[in-house]
Amino acid sequence: MKRFTSAIAISAALFSTGAQAWEATEGKPYDGETVHVLAVKSSQFEAHEARLDAFEAATGIDVVYDYVPFPNMKEALTTEMVAGGDYDVVSIMDQWVPSLSLLVQPIGDEIAAQGTNLDDFPPAHLRHGMLNGELVGLPVRGHVQLLFYRQDLLDQAGVDAPNTWEDVVSVAKAIQETSDAAGIALPYGKLNGQNLMVWINLLWGHGGDLFDEDGTPIFTSEAGIAATEQYISMLRGEQIAPAGSATFVEQDAVNSFKQGNSAMLPVWWWVRSQLTDPEQSRITPDQLGFTSMPSVGGAAKTTFTNTWVFSVTEGADNKGAAAEYLGWLTDPALERDVLLDENLDEVVSVHFSNLRDDEVNARWGGMHRAAADALANAEGMEFGDNWPRVSEILETAISSLASGEETDTAAALNHAAEEIKRIR
């Protein structure tokens, strides 16, 4: 992760930690210009669009949104990169940024002029707006994982919420002794790398990582083996995951929790609304508890993340106006307004100032502070152009161990490493 640390050091030197909130550039230099935005379909982004009147009045800039459903977004961005010319600002998911490097352009100078405080972004989110040490995008949407649990079942078993993965095992066993629920629902099956999203937390917790600075696989280390065996043991050894979990994908794990068949669930924070929705869940709000993702032993807590950055395109007609819009879009005051809007159910925050905000946490029951605790130590993932294939190889290794098709952890990881070396 040293290359990313260097990038953050560069940005820290360029942007003052005392930067003020966004204000319109004096004199309306972009009055009359139009910024065309291509964004993934999201109620959060629609909430931003609904607040554009103030920005447009302050700047004279007209902002026009086009939305694309998630399944079609990567294709739309690739088309824009190849053909170009239609959009000034685009939203890009973290995994896609490296392969779309020709679509975006550096915006460091322009964003500095907006007074944006980069230190307010968790590094795990901000890293995805950096390419070759230059700022090319700013985080707007970001997800973290939390550990959700049945407070009533923990109370019945006389145990507290787990702080470590070792605690998870003991809490799960206590719950299984006092109820019919399995201890924890986990995804082990193959689907878009979903069975990696808990495993990677364990890998980091054991002091391991996927690759070294040269891109060589290092998940075959002692740390990688220990993390993998710990993850698989929750199903095959400790037997605290539901029967059939070897084929569970994320939604299966979520459904197990919602139907009362499991007592704990590590999953993205946006899933919270599903967990107590009476139309799809048997869990009531007073039964639901949550905490930050458990740590490994005494290691710092962390979390796997998902991030969407907004970038100015290489072919933008109005770069200055586009950067002005990005300064407004990433103002923590705008994010906070959406978080506190009682007419909305938006939980997403990518600013430490809002994650730790008392009013935000009062509304959402402390969920954002729990996320901040994990994000304070989370470095995030480094995705390459071939991540989809890398992810497929890794999830196959995990799945084979969970199903019992493969029983030698080191052999499974070494085989995956050799396959990855051939494509990197």
pLDDT by residue, tens only, the chain of 424 residues: 433 443 444 344 333 333 457 899 999 999 999 999 999 999 999 999 999 999 999 999 999 999 999 999 999 999 999 998 899 999 999 999 999 999 999 999 999 988 899 999 999 999 999 999 999 999 999 999 999 999 999 999 999 999 999 999 999 999 999 999 999 999 999 999 999 999 999 999 999 999 998 999 999 999 999 999 999 999 999 999 999 999 999 999 999 999 999 999 999 999 999 999 999 999 999 999 999 999 999 899 999 999 999 999 999 999 999 999 999 999 999 999 999 999 999 999 999 999 999 999 999 999 999 999 989 989 899 898 899 999 999 999 999 999 999 999 999 999 999 999 999 7
Residue with tokens 């002794």: 177
CATH code for the domain defined by 2-143+306-375? 3.40.190.10
Long-range contacts from 212-216, C-beta under 8 angstroms, 24+ separation: 213/2, 213/3, 215/384, 215/424, 216/421
Superfamily of domain 144-303+381-423: Periplasmic binding protein-like II (3.40.190.10)
Is the pTM higher than 0.75? The answer reads yes
The pairing of strands 288-292 and 138-150 is antiparallel
Report pLDDT for 298.
83
Query: What is the distance of C-alpha 28 from the center of its chain?
Result: 35
Question: What are residue 36's DSSP bridge partners?
Answer: 64
Residue with tokens 């979990």: 245
Q: Where in the chain is the domain with CATH 3.40.190.10?
A: 2-143+306-375, 144-303+381-423
